[in-house]
């Protein structure tokens, strides 16, 4: 069958945003639909350069630094671009300027930036080429090029300046930026390196970890770093005294995933059980109702708690303010869970209906909507992307006000958070922004060279 005779697919949902957050293991959900009927399509999802694939109508995006190939019999294959939209923000200001700047990788693989504090993040023009991914820190950023080289900019003390030994690397596979530091995963020894206020001196990567050649995932909360290997073992290092890895967990060789929050960590084993360590108050000790389970398939962290999704599509929730069974654990038919920096936690069921709960496990009213593909939050506001490309907003933040852009919010493919606002990417490769004007300029301020030049899928 020739390409013109094949049906077309449409992938929707934002790539997992790589920004500083204790909720560091909340992969975003992508969905694929028939472009004409908007019916879900059973498709194969494969990261570029990898042989392993997942077949489903939905996909959890654990590696947004990689392009994602989606294919299905009778349809034209599509490739979803790696993460190409990010913002650098934190509570406060730099020299009296509100701290929010937007960064976008355009289709010519160069970066454009704008926003109130964009001028606070200068980088030499000679570095702005062949960009693949953006990684946002606090007052610092880094970028990965398509040739696997890296550069950083911003405040040197908190991650804006690489170590001299990393400047010439051309083997970088992934990067993490956190409060006060940056960390990379490379192919060659040392496979892990870090920089910033915690990246020199007492918090250098131990030699026994930097020499590992089979690390598949790196995480950090700014004080503790975690590495997961392809043999199912975990390694940790850092300055935290409460997150030292227990010997009995270090001896395991069947770990399939791991996540961390502000002071504790949770690991998922191949047998569906979970193990935890760190500060008990933040979930580092498992409640009996959780430790007894062997049917957990997904784990996520929140700043002070954990969520586990079970095979029967129910969930478990525990942490600083919730140790007993709560209303959140009565939800059923849940397909996807995630957390936010606003201490609000999200579940989407098989109909696309949404449910919200707080740190105490109490359910919070949510709009009675269905067909939700993804839900994005920002400083008290929520933006739900529906499969027809429309957007529903609500909440207490200024991102809940779309009055100035409501006529533009159609054919949306992905929605990303900014500080007290949102930015949406449309099928025509243009961006729509709204929210608190003190932290982001209005939609008309998006640079002309950006509009029409930010591809989601091709």
Given a cut of 50, is residue 201 above it in pLDDT? Answer: no
Going by C-beta distance under 8 Å and a sequence separation of 6 or more, which residues neighbour residue 103? 85, 86, 87, 88, 111, 112, 113, 121, 134, 136, 141
Looking at residue 155, its pLDDT comes to 85
> What's the start-to-end Cα distance of the chain, in Å?
20
Q: What angle do CA 214, 218, 223 make, to 5 degrees?
A: 135
CA distance 402 to 393: 8
Give the global pTM. 0.92
Looking at residue 430, its pLDDT comes to 97
Looking at residue 178, its pLDDT comes to 86
Question: For 370-397, how does the pLDDT look when each residue is reduced to its tens digit (9 = 90+)?
Answer: 999 999 988 889 999 999 999 999 998 8
- Which tokens in the block code for residue 411? 């054919």
Looking at residue 121, its pLDDT comes to 77
Looking at residue 123, its pLDDT comes to 81
CA distance 386 to 456: 17
Given a cut of 80, is residue 202 above it in pLDDT? Answer: no
Residue whose C-alpha is closest to residue 406's, from 422, 395, 387: 422
Looking at residue 124, its pLDDT comes to 81
Given a cut of 90, is residue 81 above it in pLDDT? Answer: yes
Question: For 338-379, how does the pLDDT look when each residue is reduced to its tens digit (9 = 90+)?
Answer: 887 667 899 999 999 999 999 999 999 999 999 999 999 888
Going by C-beta distance under 8 Å and a sequence separation of 6 or more, which residues neighbour residue 124? none
Identify the helix (H) or strand (E) that includes residue 386: strand 381-386
Given a cut of 70, is residue 441 above it in pLDDT? Answer: no
Given a cut of 90, is residue 70 above it in pLDDT? Answer: yes
Residue 87: pLDDT band (50, 70, 90) is confident
- Strands of 315-319's sheet in order across: 296-301, 305-310, 315-319
SS3 state of residue 52? coil
- State the average pLDDT for the chain: 90
Question: For 111-137, how does the pLDDT look when each residue is reduced to its tens digit (9 = 90+)?
Answer: 999 887 777 778 888 999 999 999 988
Highest mean pLDDT among 84-93, 150-159, 387-396, 433-442: 387-396
Given a cut of 60, is residue 203 above it in pLDDT? Answer: no
CA distance 19 to 177: 7
């Amino acid at each position: 069958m020739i390409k013109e005779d094949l049906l077309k697919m449409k992938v929707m949902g934002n790539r997992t945003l790589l920004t500083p957050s204790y909720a560091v293991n909340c992969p975003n959900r992508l969905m694929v639909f028939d472009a004409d009927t908007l019916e879900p399509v059973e498709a194969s999802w494969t990261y570029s350069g990898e042989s392993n694939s997942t077949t489903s109508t939905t996909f959890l995006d654990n590696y947004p630094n990689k392009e994602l190939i989606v294919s299905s019999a009778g349809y034209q294959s599509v490739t979803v671009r790696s993460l190409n939209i990010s913002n650098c923000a934190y509570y406060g200001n730099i020299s009296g300027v509100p701290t929010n700047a937007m960064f976008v990788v355009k289709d010519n693989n160069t970066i454009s930036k704008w926003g109130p504090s964009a001028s606070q993040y200068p980088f030499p023009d000679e570095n702005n080429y062949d960009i693949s991914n953006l990684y946002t820190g606090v007052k610092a950023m880094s970028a990965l090029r398509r040739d696997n080289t890296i550069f950083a900019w911003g405040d040197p003390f908190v991650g804006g300046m690489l170590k001299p030994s990393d400047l010439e690397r051309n083997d970088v596979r992934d990067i993490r930026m956190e409060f006060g530091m940056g960390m990379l995963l490379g192919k060659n020894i040392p496979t892990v390196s870090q920089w910033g206020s915690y990246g020199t001196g007492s918090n250098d990567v131990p030699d026994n970890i930097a020499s590992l050649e089979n690390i598949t995932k790196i995480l950090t909360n700014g004080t503790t770093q975690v590495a997961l290997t392809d043999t199912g073992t975990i390694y940790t290092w850092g300055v935290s005294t409460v997150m030292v890895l227990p010997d009995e967990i270090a001896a395991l060789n069947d770990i399939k995933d791991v996540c961390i929050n502000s002071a504790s960590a949770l690991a998922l084993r191949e047998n569906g059980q979970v193990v935890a360590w760190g500060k008990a108050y933040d979930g580092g000790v498992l409640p009996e109702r959780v430790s007894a389970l062997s049917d957990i398939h997904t784990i996520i962290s929140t700043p002070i708690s954990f969520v586990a999704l079970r095979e029967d599509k129910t969930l478990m929730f525990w942490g600083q303010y919730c140790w007993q069974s709560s209303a959140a654990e009565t939800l059923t038919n849940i397909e996807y869970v995630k957390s936010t920096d606003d201490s609000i936690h999200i579940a989407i069921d098989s109909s696309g209906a949404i449910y919200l709960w707080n740190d105490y496990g109490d359910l919070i009213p949510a709009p009675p909507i269905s067909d939700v593909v993804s839900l994005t939050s920002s400083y008290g506001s929520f933006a739900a992307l529906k499969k027809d490309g429309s957007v529903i907003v609500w909440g207490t933040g200024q991102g809940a006000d779309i009055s100035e852009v409501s006529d533009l919010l159609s054919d949306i493919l992905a929605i990303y958070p900014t500080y007290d606002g949102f930015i949406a990417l449309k099928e025509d490769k243009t961006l729509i922004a709204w929210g608190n004007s003190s932290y982001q300029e209005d939609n008309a301020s998006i640079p002309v060279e950006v509009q029409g030049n930010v591809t989601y899928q091709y």
